[in-house]
Structure 1
Amino acid sequence: MAAADTEPYRREKSIQLRSSSSGLYNNLSVLVPPGRPLARLSTVHGASASVVSTTTDGLGSSHRQLPAREGGTALSTPVLTQAAWCVLPSRVLLVLTSQKGIQMYEADGSIMVYWHALDVAEHPPAEAVFARGIAAAGGRFVCVGTSSGLVLVFDIPPRGTNVTVSQVLEQHRDAITDIAAELGRAPDGAGDLVTADDAGTLCVWSSGEEFTLLSKIPAFGCTCSSVKLWNGLVAAGYGNGQIRLYEAASGALRAQVSAHARWIYALDLAPQTGKLLSGAEDSFVHVWKLSRNLDTDDVEIQHCHAECVTDTQVCGARFCDPEGNSFAVTGYDLSEIFRYGRA
């Protein structure tokens, strides 16, 4: 790890929620449409997702609550596991996952475009069934993970509701925790999608008409809760507080750092600068800087900033701009979203 640097961020006006945030991995999504003053943020709690549209200064906001769909049975109210915006060249969708299935909405949450029910009958009664892990990939696909280790690839039309499952990726044996797509410029053969599971196994894929497996990074006895992919590097956060950097093409370990004292719940990456954001159970949020020199093949991770979110089990952390000059944080049972900007 490179020597520490200082890039101060200051606390800004918080965004109030109508409910709190559940203690789930990656429980915050942020959408900042280019050239628009409004940002959208989403977090889930129980059977509903909170979608907040807010001005960049946080002074004005509107709220929408999206319920989990029952899925044809009213025996129990399904619990949402994640909400994330998927940005495709032709459209932006808000995707919700739950114990019953996968819901896709227009970006503002006003219209449900598609519903995919999970086949609960195929699983033993004592086995938990849910979807989790959401990412756009390959220009027209949305990939969603499941508790059985499958990754469903949805082919998204430029408009309308004719969404189809085009492929099912079958490499994981444990529940999917997170999925991420390439955010920078991948070197040739490096792949553009990474999937992670509860055991800690990572799979790197190349998207196309058919997704193909490029490398499989074995587990080492610890859950991988969050992953990002940037310039052919996989950044992975683990339950032991470590962040590890791997080569996407080969799966080789390039760097590791003991980033947190407790379980990492969220990672995010600013694609234009290579800044990495990490949040964990230890109440800390850290900003790191990733760099790779394509001429010398050197990979570095540099610490830039530490923020203690007092008495908060951080469960979501996201940059609010592609440069990484601002970020937002959610915490378990916290009824607001904390915002930070460069001092």
Structure 2
Amino acid sequence: MYRKDKSLPLRSSSAALYNNLSVLRPAGPQPARLCTVHGPGLSLLSAGPGAALRQLQPKEGGSALSASLLTQMYEADGSIMVYWHALDVSEHPPAQAVFARGIAAAGGRFICVGTSSGLVLVFDIPPKGTNVTVSQVLEQHRDAITDIAAELGRAPDGAGDLVTADDAGTLCVWSTGEEFTLRSKIPAFGCTCSSVTLWNGVVAAGYGNGQIRLYEAASGVLRAEVNAHARWIYALDVAPQTGKLLSGAEDSFVHVWQLSTDPDTEDIEIQHRHAECVTDTQVCGARFCDPQGDSFAVTGYDLSEILRYSRV
């Protein structure tokens, strides 16, 4: 069971975007940092005493560049922008939206960013300095990327440690390294996959029809599915140390599930653990605040605060 804690106030509300909440869990005693997007800006908060708030505004890139066409990287506290990258818009029709969506750190040194064209840009991050480079472009998707997730623990051999999803519902599982390798491709079934996560060789995917589906990362075989929400799922997250799964949706509900695998039969199971109703709120972001899944945070469309919950 979870109970509601003191919320974190925002200067502006959260936009109605998939996965519109990120949580950085620093090693050691430092408090978690939470961020959410509103328009072109981003609110970065500390979960510690005082709830320090920083507003990050996009860099205006010269002449023809607009802020929406940039990928920007900051220090963990948001104090310094270390790198920015302009998306290539030359090959897109004027009426077609161009954007970056979906981001994940993978392989210890890479950051993967999805785009509206279906490409996934792989940025190589040096141990020191700001010499960030685009080392590879992944081209398996034909529709706009919706979400990207990386294995936070240790992926089983051959299972892959990165998963990408798109508007059509197609999923791709990759192994990271000097060259990213496609491990499996899970075909679409007529519904957008809006959020995805990866745990212990299991891909958990949330869809516009309210379903959560569990696949084997290595083979792409469907192992379980549950009608989790009455409306579009906007967020999924997993607690890497325990296998708890968090889901949030347009139906105003946030659910906590337990994922498990049987080492003998290799069966994948999902069990419901907790339900929380965020009254009259379209949930657009939900993330665990610790690796055990003992606390989580929630954002909602037009909600000027980040709600927090912790285990009783």
Common fold: TM-score over 0.5:
yes
Letter of the 1:169 partner, please give it.
L
**2:160 — aligned with what?**
191
**1:12 — aligned with what?**
5
1:103-128 deviations in Å (ceiling 9; x for gaps): 00110111111110011222100100
**1:65 — aligned with what?**
55
**1:273 — aligned with what?**
242
TM-score scaled by structure 2? 0.98
Letter of the 1:330 partner, please give it.
T
Distance in 2, Cα, partners of 1:189 & 1:18: 45
User: In the TM superposition, what are the counterparts of 1:12-31 in structure 2 within 5 Å?
Assistant: 12-31=5-24
The worse-fitting range, judged by mean Cα deviation, of 185-194 and 67-76 is 67-76
User: In the TM superposition, what are the counterparts of 1:140-155 in structure 2 within 5 Å?
Assistant: 140-155=109-124
Distance in 1, Cα, partners of 2:63 & 2:283: 33
User: In the TM superposition, what are the counterparts of 1:104-123 in structure 2 within 5 Å?
Assistant: 104-123=73-92
Distance in 1, Cα, partners of 2:64 & 2:179: 37
Distance in 1, Cα, partners of 2:142 & 2:157: 28
Distance in 2, Cα, partners of 1:301 & 1:199: 25
Distance in 2, Cα, partners of 1:333 & 1:41: 17
Cα pair distance change 1:207/1:333, threshold 3 Å:
same
User: Is the 1:329–1:339 contact (alpha carbons within 8 Å) kept by the matching residues of 2?
Assistant: yes
Letter of the 1:145 partner, please give it.
G
Match status 1:263 vs 2:232? yes
SS of 1:285's partner is strand
Letter of the 1:66 partner, please give it.
L
1:186-225 deviations in Å (ceiling 9; x for gaps): 2210000000000000000011100011110000000000
C-alpha RMSD of matched pairs (Å): 1.1
**1:218 — aligned with what?**
187
Q: Report the CA distance between 1:32 and its aligned residue.
A: 2.2
Letter of the 2:167 partner, please give it.
D
Distance in 2, Cα, partners of 1:245 & 1:54: 31
User: In the TM superposition, what are the counterparts of 1:256-335 in structure 2 within 5 Å?
Assistant: 256-335=225-304
Match status 1:252 vs 2:221? yes
Distance in 1, Cα, partners of 2:102 & 2:63: 24
User: Is the 1:71–1:100 contact (alpha carbons within 8 Å) kept by the matching residues of 2?
Assistant: no
User: Is the 1:233–1:248 contact (alpha carbons within 8 Å) kept by the matching residues of 2?
Assistant: yes
Letter of the 1:255 partner, please give it.
A
**1:171 — aligned with what?**
140
Letter of the 1:219 partner, please give it.
A
- Unaligned 5+ runs, structure 2: none
The worse-fitting range, judged by mean Cα deviation, of 327-336 and 118-127 is 118-127
Distance in 2, Cα, partners of 1:212 & 1:261: 36
User: In the TM superposition, what are the counterparts of 1:118-129 in structure 2 within 5 Å?
Assistant: 118-129=87-98
Match status 1:32 vs 2:1? no
Q: Report the CA distance between 1:36 and its aligned residue.
A: 1.7
SS of 1:120's partner is coil
SS of 1:122's partner is coil
- Unaligned 5+ runs, structure 1: 1-7, 79-98
